[in-house]
Structure 1
């Protein structure tokens, strides 16, 4: 396994116009490629934000035009692209999946992760019911990028520490968190949650996000895409605009932190009786 991984995060504002969003995502991906990263990561819902009807009417399949363009782009740039998430149609009659696709430098879909925790909450005086649009995933995924085990998660997942502990125990040294985090919660929770998950699991957290207003109600997304190191320090953050942030991760730091504070090796699963709470 290499001891370095160079990652680029794309931050962008998302509209209800698929063509505009996808064009912007590809332009920013090509801008990121100028820094010669190992992997470029797009935010959640980079393809579309809008009404429930918009999502169902404009949903694509995994072999549709947007993922096909990104596969061509990955092959052209000879780099990994993690396609944040898109609402993908699995069958004609059912709900959609909020899916993160990992595309390798050959343009192949290497792994997919379907968001496990749908966004159901009351934020900013508005009720959000993601489960009306998407079916929750049921598989925790660690992919391999240039020999580095990389965990996959999405936005609201960040509030469920059990999932991140499992990703770490499955070998993840880096965990990706593409997001469209609300301004109301982002200003108080975004950095805190990312730092907590990094400290607990002694991993790098790489979190590209959308920024600015988004449809259908002109709510604000928080932006502030950031990278947190295994000690819990923020080592990169985007400004409040479309753009790219690139940072090289020193993976030796993961092992160094785990030796200095060996909390993972001191776990006591023999006394963690979850069964009495799992109902």
Structure 2
């Protein structure tokens, strides 16, 4: 099975964002990818809470509808990264997964909200914008168990452990990782999660600046194998990366270092 990750620079022009995503998804589909993963907030991105909420869409909105049709037309499984979802009177940072027929086969809303202070003093409070999700998700995509996380979830290994307990073979981490934290933490955290879970990691990220350069995304979208080796990586601009998932290699790594048999905690 071949997978691909899309790396783009998103602003608040949703039609333009959809058009650029369309081009990159078609590029990966033409290259033979079975599953394509998009970044976090691929529909629209701003650091202004009111504007982001105003851009929110329901599941039957223009963004999801366009991506659903794209999955069906290209005959691929498509993970929508995430988008600002309006669900009744709630706002959620939500991922959806569509199969080759354009049918939704999985959803996940971000559990851990990014409330931090960057080294330069910039404060980011995702909890001012979105509600917290309340469930974890593993989706069966043609026999491959794909677990869903979003960005800041990466820093919580207990979530990844729980996803492994549900049978995950690949864990996706769509992100809009800040440049300041990404330069120091992005690759090391992704590789650590791959090593400790013995899963593939697919991490599509946003790249470049938004809000007139006030915020800068790190990019460096990656695909990492269960041994922790980076097997696919995008450049520093918009683009794609792809890799072949070797299901036998997952079992080889797990047999080589049988973490599941050796776990002791929590102590009985």
TM-score by length of 2: 0.96
Q: CA deviation at 1:169?
A: 1.1
2:79 corresponds to: 82
Counterparts of 2:266 and 2:214, CA distance in 1: 49
Matches within 5 A, 1:40-55: 40-50=36-46, 51-55=48-52
Q: Is the 8 A contact 2:223 2:242 kept in 1?
A: no
- Give a deviation string over 1:95-154, Cα, whole Å, max 9, x none: x11000001111111110001111111113211000111011111100011111111101
Counterparts of 1:169 and 1:245, CA distance in 2: 28
Distance 1:117 1:270, change over 3 A: closer
1:12 corresponds to: 8
* 1:61 is aligned to 2:58: yes
Counterparts of 1:48 and 1:218, CA distance in 2: 16
Moved more, 185-194 or 47-56: 47-56
Runs of 4 or more consecutive aligned structure 1 residues displaced over 4 Å after TM superposition: none
* 1:262 is aligned to 2:265: no
Counterparts of 2:45 and 2:21, CA distance in 1: 14
Counterparts of 1:193 and 1:42, CA distance in 2: 19
2:100 corresponds to: 105
* 1:224 is aligned to 2:220: yes
1:37 corresponds to: 33
Matches within 5 A, 1:77-156: 77-91=74-88, 93-94=89-90, 96-123=91-118, 124-156=120-152
Q: Is the 8 A contact 1:49 1:216 kept in 2?
A: no
Query: Which of 231, 237, 243 is residue 235 of structure 1 equivalent to?
Result: 231
Moved more, 213-222 or 253-262: 213-222
Counterparts of 1:270 and 1:86, CA distance in 2: 36
Moved more, 81-90 or 51-60: 51-60
Q: Aligned with 1:74: secondary structure?
A: helix
Matches within 5 A, 1:173-184: 173-184=169-180
Counterparts of 2:19 and 2:234, CA distance in 1: 21
Counterparts of 1:269 and 1:192, CA distance in 2: 24
- Give a deviation string over 1:5-27, Cα, whole Å, max 9, x none: 21010000011211111111111
Q: Is the 8 A contact 1:228 1:235 kept in 2?
A: yes
Show structure 2 runs of 5+ residues with no match: none
CA-atom RMSD, angstroms? 1.2
Q: Is the 8 A contact 1:201 1:264 kept in 2?
A: no
1:197 corresponds to: 193
Question: What is the number of equivalent residue pairs in this alignment?
Answer: 266
